[in-house]
Amino acid sequence: MTDAPAIDIAHLPHPAPVPGATREQAIADPGFGTVFTDHMISIDWDEGEGWHGATLGPREPITLDPAASVLHYAQEIFEGLKAYRLTDGTMALFRPDQNAARLNRSARRLAMPELPEDVFVEAVRQVVLKDSDWFPKVEGGSLYIRPFMFANEHFLGVRPAKKYKFLVILSPAGNYFKSGAPAVSVWVSEYTRAAPGGTGEAKCGGNYAASLVPTGEAFAQGHDQVVFLDAVERKWIEELGGMNLFFVFDDGTLVTPPLTGTILPGITRDSIITLAREEGLGVREERYSLDSWKEDAASGRLTETFACGTAAVVTAVGKVAGRDGNFTIGSGGPGQLTTKLRDRLVGIQRGTVEDTHGWVMRL
């Protein structure tokens, strides 16, 4: 980044960082989202001053007034991205400008203030560099980055709050799926996630609160993820609880559900569309029904299905189950195209495949 950031981030000393031995243990076996690094970025917003008071300081509890509006009307949005280590040892971010832009689209939908994109990226960059010694020591490890913003005005009227806080915290991450499965099994839920005109395309906490029961149902029945159908006809496939879906056909074309407002516009989804087209594959953003999924898997017209997102990158879907029965896709394991696209994307993220799009930001 050549331009100076629009805000100065003050660095506060940490009085008691996590002891080295504890940190070493955590990064040798990180899991997902349970261990956090020493520091965080914090930036405040209010009507008078706009964004101000940016600090990089100790990760610590935050004090909230019981009337803080986030606790009542859920004005909360977040992002999720990762810092990767390139093969030459440098840490890098993957398309962080896209996360910044998506946070601001979410902010607009939730009547929250937008954060300048360069401030978002600079905040992420600084905290990752500060806690780089928390980078996991496991194969495929990364530092998971969680930027988020919430309303902290204490006021109980139902209207957009006049005070917000933006924070960035980090968590060393290993494999997202507990099983580390080469292909996952998914459960088609009777619950829906998002209705037309709702908040489905925003990354707001409320969407995830509503997905917990359906996801719990999927887990209870031994599946790895939940599949949501559309809320109107209950027949069109939308996405998984935390990933977008792609369907691969025997003529080498791909289909992915269109961005009509009810699904999250995944940055991995967008990257896969670009990479697949570069491979000469046809990609159609169009609706695809659960009935077709089942029929096409049976006939062999559908050869692969994969899910994609920051957490699990690209993961094959091997088995699908729902109230109407089960079916298997292809051999039930990762297909050729899934593996090819995954390898290409992971290669770009790790610096072994040339980054012709300028997607990788070295730190």
Q: Which is nearer to ligand PMP, 153 or 238 (CB)?
A: 238
Closest to ligand PMP by CB, 131 or 239: 239
Residue closer to ligand PMP (CB basis): 26 or 128: 128
Tell me how many residues contact ligand PMP (CB under 6 A): 12
Does 201 bind ligand PMP (CB under 6 A)? Our answer is: no
- State the catalytic residue, choosing from 82, 203, 294, 319: 203
Of 96, 113, 309, 334, the one binding ligand PMP by CB under 6 A: 309
Cα–Cα dist 200/83, whole Å: 26
Residues 6 or more apart in contact with residue 188 via CB below 8 angstroms: 226, 227, 229, 290, 320, 321, 322, 323
**Least distance in Å: CB of 24 to ligand PMP?**
29
103 lies in the binding site for ligand PMP (CB under 6 A): no
Q: Are 227 and 186 in contact (CB under 8 A)?
A: yes
Binding to ligand PMP by CB under 6 A, coded x per residue (else -) over 265-284, reads -xxxx---------------
Q: How far apart are CA 201 and CA 105, in angstroms?
A: 9
Query: With contact defined as beta carbons under 8 Å apart, do 342 and 314 qualify?
Result: yes
Active site annotation includes 203: yes
Task: Give the angle subtended at the CA of 173 by the CAs of 214 and 219, to the nearest 5°.
Answer: 20
Query: Minimum Å distance from CB 74 to ligand PMP?
Result: 16
Answer yes or no whether residue 229 interacts with ligand PMP by CB under 6 A.
no
Residue 96 binding ligand PMP, by CB under 6 A: no
The residue within the footprint of ligand PMP, chosen from 96, 136, 214, 242 (CB under 6 A), is 242
Nearest CA among 363, 292, 273, 316 for reference residue 81 = 363
3-state secondary structure of 8: coil
Q: Which of 161-188 are b and which e, b meaning 16 or more Cβ less than 10 Å from the residue's Cβ?
A: bebbbbbbbbbbbbbbeeeebebbbbbb
Select from 244, 256, 262, 349 the one that contacts ligand PMP (CB under 6 A).
244
Measured between alpha carbons, how far is 105 from 112 in angstroms, rounded to an integer?
10
State yes or no: residue 360 binds ligand PMP (CB under 6 A). no
In single-letter form, the type of residue at position 171 comes to S
Please state the closest distance from residue 267 (CB atom) to ligand PMP, in A: 4
Which residues form the catalytic set?
A: 203
Q: Which residues bind ligand PMP (CB under 6 A)?
A: 80, 239, 242-244, 264, 266-269, 309-310
